[in-house]
Chains A and B, each alone.
Chain A
């Protein structure tokens, strides 16, 4: 089957073209750029909500973008079980839109942080992570000013119990302590799944380390896992 993917473009998105490029580099497939004013989308198999500063992140990250016409379509496609991937600002938008629980707030040091961090794969039985090994430690960059994850105790309990914490910030040896979360995230949470398992939000940027020339390829398996899930390819 052909896999139809798109990357949304909000005013202020700046990782939109990067995601098209990495999706193609990892899967050999094209992805459409979709303008946020679109109010009717074809039934894409994958929608990537990219990083950036939608609407300048004025007011609150993602708070304005969630009202863009295209977001109603994203909610509709999520309801159909299509895969939705929100990265960085995309993760923030998905929480604002109610597709994922919780919120992202200012980094604990109050500064923007752009550097490689290490993540532990907490759940590889998802449509986004099947090509990773459980507990695998990945090197993936973060680049954000507001990446501290928080949520209610009830949401946290549900995320843990249902295996919906997909990535945690960790030390190079895979151990997890609060100091390993560069942004002060609750429970070191770096990425979470929605209730149905078809929506993933994460702060780190897998698209930035998906080619050897950029310094690493640990982000690559996220895209190839998605392709497997959508095309019925190999499962680990």
Chain B
């Protein structure tokens, strides 16, 4: 027991929370017990500031086999196959030690996926950094990308896509959100549940050391300049160990040797043990004398809170323990019998026969105090709606502006990033990184799986509710332009300090928007992660609710490319273009300002657009389809020209200013092509789905992009645009 006057402080609890512990437990906890409460009631493990808001999210649907609450969500894909997928943040560790922080973020999410019994087949990552004119930010970017590649490449899991944006708000607190997806048979989902009293609890994989101790608490604090000291809080990854752990785990699952399993992530043995017992409503004890150690003299609480990587807890029937141990031995891995499932409802920590801590598991997992934090509309909110767009409206050199946008940090080619990742291992990557979304083929099935991650955080900052809804709509459209029906989503909700009422307001509004869009588009939320306290020296990041969306196409042969495949095709602009320059990338590029009204979002129209795209792909009506996003129509046209070095001749007659027509970011728009023979069928279909459209021109094979708008003309050589677009990021990121 501690004799500190305020024993709760050391464990990150408030005095009220400490009093609640006393009341629930009916006695004074000892030091170890209080440490267990401290991590389990942290925001990172207990979601105490977010759970009430997360309950708004739609989580059900016929496609959902497993919703939130397990290691990962699972949805049905068809043909007996299911996908387990989830996204998680590793922001603070990456800020302090970018390579290991990012690498262990990847490792952690991969374990979540194979803990469901799924073989991981694809990863995405969503990254945010400050501006690249800062040497420290360059080192963070280089380190994070190398760390993601270093772990994922070694695992043999392809990294097939993701998204990357830069903004000063992320300067000291980058975002590293890692997404992983695995495939499994729909009738073979495993859960993190410690059921069956008398069953053996096995600890497998790596030894336990002092790395990453209190990582969960670290994630629940703001960053500051003194965080160099936090380096010991960052875990160290060993992807080779994890590769062995993956293969050994899948082998024992294949042979039906396990009742339940759970990876050791945040708060290590504490959270995995308590959660397994809590889910099963059983009890469980762990004997710390049995835990294989990396170093001598570790204290009980250090063992319980260690976040050493590449470890799993298994629950195994006694008759199968020897067979499990044999499989792990084949893979040169440790597997020890570290405890038992009990029926007393307690999560108990022992040293041999001595009980060091014993707490009803549900107090740790289900009695976390949940808070409605105070909210306040931020000062910036009304002020930032007004904006002066004269720099953009009067620019005139549209080709020059397009070239500058394509070479800007947020719109330039991401090849520098994704070529450092193995995107092809596994032989399933049919649409590689670099387009709207990626697509995988599914073994033993004619179906294809689309994946995409997205979030424009400038929109979310300026109008949190609509911005979050746009992130969902955009991720869904990224799947739909490939011809895939969006199926379900995971998310990573990155925000500042929730104890600040303005930040909490952003969080409440953004989750409202997320809930609304997910319901409207019939893409339930199957899980995710909340990351608060993303602040550096008191400055919060832009609110960033990153969306990871998956979708399915019935026949992968019907997938639609993003780029123009040939000259002489009709170019169709689908959706409604408005005079919307607010929050645009072009305005930001010219002024450095984040302001203006965020573009309108019509979710019903978005839904119809998705339905049209899925039907048009199935009917093989379109030759290409690309979703319009940052940079508007002009940037989308250039992006469509790049893959095949094509050109286009387009004339716009939309009644808008040239600036808005070319660079406005009106939502729910797609640039598609059709050949003459199918044009009528495409236009009929667009009318049936009540979608606004106009046939704006033709693709060409002369490598010239020409856009006429009244008396204005944008004329550019595609090769010059592509050169600027390709070179920008490698040059900006070079150390």
**Residues of A near any B CB (own CB < 8 A):** 11-15, 18, 21-22, 51-53, 55-58, 111-115, 141, 143, 145, 205, 207-208, 211, 213-215
Contact = CB atoms under 8 A, between A and B. Distances in A.
Interface string B80-120: 00000000000000000000000000000000000000000
A233 to B, nearest CB: 25
Contact of B419 (A114, A205, A208, A213): A114
A114 B331 contact: no
Given A112-B146, A213-B441, 4 more contacts: A14-B154, A14-B155, A112-B150, A115-B415
B401 interface: no
Given A15-B425, A111-B420, A114-B419, A213 B154 contact: no
B146 A141 contact: no
Contact of B154 (A57, A211, A214, A215): A57
A145 B418 CA distance: 14
B432 A215 contact: yes
20 contacts: A11-B243, A11-B332, A12-B240, A13-B156, A14-B155, A14-B156, A15-B156, A21-B427, A22-B427, A53-B153, A56-B238, A112-B149, A112-B153, A114-B418, A115-B415, A208-B425, A214-B427, A214-B429, A215-B430, A215-B432
A145 B425 CA distance: 14
B158 to A, nearest CB: 9
Name which of B239, B421, B424, B441 has the most chain A CB atoms within 10 A of its CB.
Answer: B424
A123 to B, nearest CB: 26
A46 to B, nearest CB: 19
B156 A213 contact: no
B309 to A, nearest CB: 13
B458 to A, nearest CB: 30
A213 B556 contact: yes
B459 to A, nearest CB: 32
Interface string B495-531: 0000000000000000000000000000000000000
Contacts of B422: 112, 114, 143
B244 interface: yes
A56 B419 contact: no
A12 B556 CA distance: 31
Nearest to A55: B240
Contacts of B156: 13-15, 52-53
A211 B429 CA distance: 11
Contacts of A11: 240, 243-244, 331-332
Name which of B146, B239, B419, B423 has the most chain A CB atoms within 10 A of its CB.
Answer: B419
Nearest to A9: B247
Contacts of B197: none
B490 to A, nearest CB: 25
B352 interface: no
A18 B427 contact: yes
B426 interface: yes
Contact of A53 (B243, B424, B441): B243
Nearest to A18: B427
Contacts, number: 83
A14 B153 CA distance: 9
Given A11-B332, A14-B155, A53-B239, A115 B427 contact: no
Name which of B149, B332, B423, B425 has the most chain A CB atoms within 10 A of its CB.
Answer: B425
B252 to A, nearest CB: 16
Contacts of A214: 424, 427, 429-430
Contacts of A205: 424
B424 A141 contact: yes
Contacts of A115: 415, 419
B153 A18 contact: no
Closest 4 CB pairs of A and B: A14-B156, A56-B240, A53-B154, A143-B422
B239 A56 contact: yes
A58 B301 CA distance: 32
A203 B239 CA distance: 22
Contacts of B557: 213
Interface of B: 146, 149-150, 153-156, 238-241, 243-244, 331-332, 415, 418-427, 429-430, 432, 441, 556-557
Given A14-B155, A58-B240, A213-B556, A208 B427 contact: yes
A191 B425 CA distance: 20
B146 A111 contact: yes
Nearest to A37: B330
A59 to B, nearest CB: 11
Contact of B240 (A53, A207, A215): A53
Contacts of B432: 215
Contacts of A114: 153, 418-424
Contacts of B146: 111-112
A102 B429 CA distance: 33
Contacts of B415: 115
Nearest to A207: B427
A154 to B, nearest CB: 34
Given A11-B332, A52-B156, A214-B430, A18 B425 contact: yes
Contacts of A113: 419-420
B328 to A, nearest CB: 12
Contacts of B426: 18
Contacts of A145: 153
Name which of A22, A56, A58 has the most chain B CB atoms within 10 A of its CB.
Answer: A56
A24 B614 CA distance: 33
A208 B240 contact: no
Nearest to A56: B240
Contacts of B420: 111-114
Contacts of A207: 427
A15 B239 CA distance: 16
A77 B11 CA distance: 62
Nearest to B418: A114
Contact of B243 (A12, A58, A215): A12
Contacts of A213: 430, 441, 556-557
A12 B146 CA distance: 19
B179 to A, nearest CB: 18
Contacts of B430: 213-215
Contacts of A141: 424
Nearest to B149: A112
A74 to B, nearest CB: 21
B427 A112 contact: no
A212 to B, nearest CB: 10
Name which of B156, B239, B423 has the most chain A CB atoms within 10 A of its CB.
Answer: B156
A145 B149 CA distance: 10
A156 B399 CA distance: 51
Nearest to A14: B156
A182 to B, nearest CB: 9
A208 B156 CA distance: 13
A38 to B, nearest CB: 12
Contacts of B154: 12, 14, 53, 56-57
A24 to B, nearest CB: 11
B420 to A, nearest CB: 5
Nearest to A57: B154
B719 to A, nearest CB: 15
Nearest to A15: B425
B295 to A, nearest CB: 20
A217 B331 CA distance: 35
Given A14-B156, A21-B427, A213-B556, A112 B421 contact: yes
Nearest to B431: A215
A35 B240 CA distance: 17
A128 to B, nearest CB: 20
Contacts of A211: 427
B427 A14 contact: no
A22 B556 CA distance: 19
A18 to B, nearest CB: 5
Contacts of B238: 56
A111 B733 CA distance: 13
A190 B448 CA distance: 33
A20 to B, nearest CB: 10
A88 to B, nearest CB: 10
A184 B305 CA distance: 45
Name which of A13, A55, A213 has the most chain B CB atoms within 10 A of its CB.
Answer: A213
